[in-house]
Structure 1
Amino acid sequence: MKIAVLGAGHVGPVIARLALAAGYPVTIAGSGDPSRIEMIIEFLAPGAVPLSAADAVADADLVVLAIPWHRFPSLEPAMFAGKVVIDAMNHWPPADQPQGTSEEVAQRLVGAQVVKTLNHIAYQDMEPPAGHAVGLAGDSPDALRVVSEFLSRIGFEPVPVGSLFDGRLLEPGSPLFGKFVKELS
């Protein structure tokens, strides 16, 4: 399975490192020319290949959105059709929105299968994953299975929290935000 990470800030390189360590081929994209992030990626995620967002997504089986929320509208929705997409984004500052981020992502990326995860823990707490439980939410059983396998392989214990609507439980302001999920009742 090929992984594309969109976002070369804090979260993206950590996810790329974990995926590389688990044996996945990884591409990573920032918001501009890939040459602008080559040195950063060489240092923060050695082995990841910097590409444009379009090129990274085109060849990926799983796409991780680890970009600032305000940059999401700049992505071309059609390039995500048929892809499994992890939404690791958050509204900052926390917003009282009619929908959670993943519901908005799914609505905009028609044809993609969106799963909310990895947004509720700080990037500095992701390494080493050491079996820490992370929540995931989604509407597609197939996408949830793919993402669960990915999370397990990179060292986390995936814990389903429900549908994309329920993914709000993983967003800022919720009781699970900023914590590893231990158990849900």
Structure 2
Amino acid sequence: MQRSRRRGTARPRHPLALTMTTLGIIGAGHIGSQVARAAVANGYEVVIANSRGPETLAGLVDELGPAARAATAAEAAEAGDVVVVTVPFKAYASIPVAPLAGKIVIDTNNYYWERDGRVPALDEGRATVSGMLQEHLPESRVAKGFNHIRSAEITSDARPAGDPGRRALATSSDFEDAAAFVTRLYDEFGFDTVNVGPLDESWRVERDQPAYGLPQTRDELVANLARAERPQAAA
């Protein structure tokens, strides 16, 4: 169950080594593949996994070049200095726990009840998608990222810093360094950032909220986040 925490009370910063070069990616679908492309283009090494086995990723790895390799989910979790989890929400409990202990984990997941089955705690606003992953990974530092952008736009919508039309994306975490890393990654990929606050506020950027899926500048994203209305449990 999502822990209750007042907005703005992030946990203490945990320094991330400046030598970080490897991004583990668990999930090689539309979002995972695009994050991998953007990461390699920005100088990261990538270790990527899917549910079907490393051999099924040969084409993607060939495209990405020598900075990328395919692996199992456990191997990607172990190899990544920071790890992106981008699997269907219904599969989040299959994410390996031990190899991710002590690491920043970027969660791209969204809850689609038509695919994932009904989750009353989400339907009733008692939990958040990324909060549930944080519960599954108690020794990791989870941050929301890349959940409200279409996959193709991760590479097509990038603009340089200072561009007045630069798109903004949201992040959310209970850990300052995790949110800071997503902010850094967004900037490297060509996006501004709005930090929503701790994970119990991350519902503001989930499916069916005003900020979800729209190209928007920083000011527009801030306004849309403020317009969000959380589902309420039935009386």
Give me the TM-score of the superposition, normalised by structure 2: 0.73
Deviation at 1:157?
1.3
Aligned match for 1:96, one of 95, 98, 123: 123
Q: Is the 8 A contact 1:78 1:110 kept in 2?
A: no
2:175 corresponds to which residue?
140
Equivalent position to 2:205, from 167, 170, 182: 170
Structure having the higher Rg = 2
Could you say what secondary structure the match of 1:18 adopts?
helix
**2:136 matches 1:108:** yes
- Contact 1:117-1:170 at 8 Å conserved across structures: no
Give 1:162 deviation, angstroms.
1.4
What letter matches 1:123 in structure 2? S
TM-score scaled by length of structure 1: 0.92
Q: Would you say 1:39 and 2:55 are equivalent positions?
A: no
Aligned residues: 184
Residues 1-185 of structure 1 correspond to what in structure 2 (within 5 A)?
1=20, 2-43=22-63, 45-46=64-65, 47-93=67-113, 96=123, 98-128=126-156, 129-130=158-159, 131-182=166-217, 183=219, 184-185=222-223
How far the C-alpha of 1:89 sits from its partner, in A, is: 0.6
What are structure 2's unaligned runs of at least 5 residues?
1-19, 115-121, 160-165, 224-235
Structure 1 residue 132: deviation in Å? 1.9
In the alignment, the residues of structure 1 paired with residue 57 and residue 176 of structure 2 have an alpha-carbon distance, to the nearest angstrom, of 35
1:180–1:163 distance in 2 versus 1, CA, 3 Å? farther
**Structure 2 SS opposite 1:89:** coil
Q: Where do 5+ consecutive residues of structure 1 fail to align?
A: none
Change (3 A) 1:159 1:180: farther
Do the aligned partners of 2:73 and 2:96 also contact (CA within 8 Å) in 1?
no
Higher strand share: 1
